[in-house]
């Protein structure tokens, strides 16, 4: 059983989510950001799929650590925008954009499309590697619709506009434990926990 994982990301929101998920499913598992992550030459996420980006990132960063490293590539795919923002979700509104900028661009693009189709899905692929060798790749998704405007104050990224039809609430309106039960990241991470346990 693997007792410690390093996350190949500097995203504090993701680390909080993964730690919360680990505390529910594998409380003995330690999750940390890869030491000196910001100083390591960055992996360029230029592949056309979430899986290729996640695996490439995990391999890249695993070469500077002895402990297993996991990386994710996740994003939002909107039907009416031909799957955009997709693998460009984090860079959708430009390199220096904040979450609010990305959400504003998404809503603007949907308004300009003139469509009533608001169907979308969040996708998450997680890759686990150790010293340049892939150990596992898992993925999952959650279906939803895009709200007309942001709702709620929790979460991060596109959470304020991603509505789960079964609950009638955006991810930002849900308590974190409920969000983790339904989310793409929660479902994918539970698969990863099965592998490491």
DSSP state of 84: -
Q: What are phi and psi of 171, to 5 degrees?
A: -60, -30
Domains in the chain: ranges and CATH: 4-196 (3.90.950.10)
pLDDT on residue 121 = 98
Is 0.85 surpassed by the pTM of this model? yes
pLDDT on residue 105 = 97
Q: Could you give the residue ranges of the DSSP H alpha helices within the chain?
A: 12-25, 50-62, 99-113, 176-182, 184-196
pLDDT on residue 89 = 96
Residue 73 falls in the annotated catalytic set: yes
pLDDT on residue 13 = 78
* pLDDT tens per residue across all 197 residues of the chain: 789 999 998 887 788 889 988 888 888 899 999 988 989 999 998 999 999 999 999 999 999 999 999 999 999 999 999 999 999 999 999 989 999 999 999 999 999 999 999 999 999 999 999 999 999 999 999 999 999 999 999 988 999 999 999 999 999 999 988 999 999 999 999 999 999 98
Q: Which long-range contacts (CB under 8 A, 24 or more apart) does 159-167 make?
A: 160/103, 161/103, 161/106, 161/107, 162/76, 162/120, 162/122
From 73, 79, 82, 177, active-site residue: 73
Contact (CB, 8 A) for 10 and 72: no
Say how far apart CA 172 and CA 163 lie, in whole Å: 9
Instruction: Using alpha carbons, select from 138, 122, 133 the residue that is nearest to residue 196.
Output: 138
pLDDT on residue 170 = 98
Coil/strand/helix, residue 74: strand
pLDDT on residue 32 = 92
């Amino acid at each position: 059983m693997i007792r410690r994982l390093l996350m190949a990301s500097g995203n504090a929101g993701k680390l909080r989510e993964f730690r919360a998920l680990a505390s529910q499913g594998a409380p003995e598992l330690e999750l940390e950001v890869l030491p000196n992550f910001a100083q390591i030459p960055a992996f360029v996420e230029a592949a056309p799929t979430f899986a290729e980006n996640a695996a490439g990132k995990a391999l890249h960063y695993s070469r500077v650590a002895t402990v297993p490293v996991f990386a994710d590539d996740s994003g939002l795919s909107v039907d009416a925008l031909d799957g955009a923002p997709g693998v460009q979700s984090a860079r959708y509104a430009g390199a220096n954009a904040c979450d609010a900028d990305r959400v504003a661009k998404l809503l603007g693009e949907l308004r300009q499309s003139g469509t009533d189709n608001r169907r979308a899905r969040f996708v998450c692929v997680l890759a686990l590697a150790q010293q340049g060798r892939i150990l596992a790749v898992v993925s999952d998704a959650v279906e939803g619709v895009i709200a007309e405007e942001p709702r709620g104050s929790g979460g991060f990224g596109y959470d304020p506009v991603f509505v789960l039809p079964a609950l009638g609430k955006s991810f930002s309106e849900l308590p974190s434990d409920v969000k983790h039960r339904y989310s793409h990241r929660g479902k994918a991470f539970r698969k990863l926990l099965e592998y490491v346990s």
